[in-house]
Structure 1
Amino acid sequence: MSSVLHFPPASPQQSVAYLQHKLSFYADAWDLAEDLAQGITQIMVIDARSREAYEAGHICGALSFPHRTMTAESTAALDRRTVYITYCDGIGCNGSTKAALRLAALGFQVKELIGGLDFWKRDGHPLTTGPQPGAWPQAATAAGCGC
């Protein structure tokens, strides 16, 4: 018997429901870069790493907000109509998950960036350094990942 088919596949309708649900939790680097390049204002990128890691290099426009510092008081100025995209170093780090959990528990809409900063850099998207968020470079565009 087939190892793959040992557990039968879901129906097409079940697959649609599951995959739509799954995509409601995640964003990938190409989609995020495209939105940032277009100046989409309904999202805000949150770097959940330490401030030192943030200053060494972060996604252009990302807000430094280490997950350990997220409380009702520290998030009071955040706009609840915004969708917050959290990231950390990459798949070996769960800082983005902890940040997304804290924000969601406080009533914010969240998504995690798949692969974090590692996948962002792998795809060749722009970074900035220092303590300020910086801005999306005018010359940078998201051409598409071909997927």
Structure 2
Amino acid sequence: MIDRAEFYAAKLTYETDPSDVHAALKAGENIVVVDVRSDEAWAQGRIAGAVHMHYSEIASCAAAEIPEGTDVVVYCWSPGCNAGAKGALEFARLGYAVREMIGGFEYWVREGYAVEDSDGVHHRPVDPLTGIARIRAHA
């Protein structure tokens, strides 16, 4: 049985959140953010700069599209969706250092980070329940 500290250390090894992903991207860290949702969901909007790869395609496509040794962050719709976990499992099976972004696309949007769709890149209003509007509105 692991103790609490080991549990939370492991959890942070395998999970991340929108704030930390945004900070890593802003700092130029070598990560690839992968949207594992459907084509229809991708078309509705996605994290600006993300790669689209449905979780069912990862085993056959990842090696050709994402260089070995690249850190990967996967996300799906929201905390109510387990496609991110399915995608993370597939990347882990292939040997990638992968983390799941908890909160998914929903919390990325709610925190006011850049969203991309057919109209370009834009920011939606920050939800005051998840972020501080005056600080994050221009992040």
Equivalent pair of 1:36/1:136 in contact (CA under 8 Å)? no
Q: State the match for 2:45 in structure 1.
A: 57
Which of the two has greater helix per residue? 2
Query: Using a 3 Å threshold, how does the CA distance of structure 1 residues 121 and 136 change in structure 2: closer, same or farther?
Result: closer
Whole-angstrom distance in 1 between the partners of 2:87 and 2:102: 14
Gaps of 5+ in 1: 1-13, 138-142
The higher relative CO (CA closer than 8 Å, separation ≥ 6) is in: 1
Q: CA deviation at 1:135?
A: 8.0
2:11 is aligned with 1:19: no
Identity %: 33
Q: Could you tell me which amino acid in structure 2 is paired with residue 87 of structure 1?
A: Y
Q: Could you tell me which amino acid in structure 2 is paired with residue 82 of structure 1?
A: T
Structure 1 segments of 4 or more deviating over 6 A? 134-137
Q: Secondary structure at the match of 1:40?
A: coil
Q: Secondary structure at the match of 1:20?
A: helix
Q: Tell me the TM-score normalised to structure 1 length.
A: 0.74
Alignment equivalent of 2:26, drawn from 24, 37, 41: 37
2:68 is aligned with 1:80: yes
Q: State the match for 1:7 in structure 2.
A: none
Q: Tell me the TM-score normalised to structure 2 length.
A: 0.78
Q: Could you tell me which amino acid in structure 1 is paired with residue 61 of structure 2?
A: S
Gaps of 5+ in 2: 124-134
The alignment covers a number of residue pairs equal to 122
Q: CA deviation at 1:62?
A: 0.5
Q: CA deviation at 1:31?
A: 0.6
Alignment of 1:1-147 (within 5 A): 14-41=3-30, 43-71=31-59, 73-77=60-64, 78-130=66-118
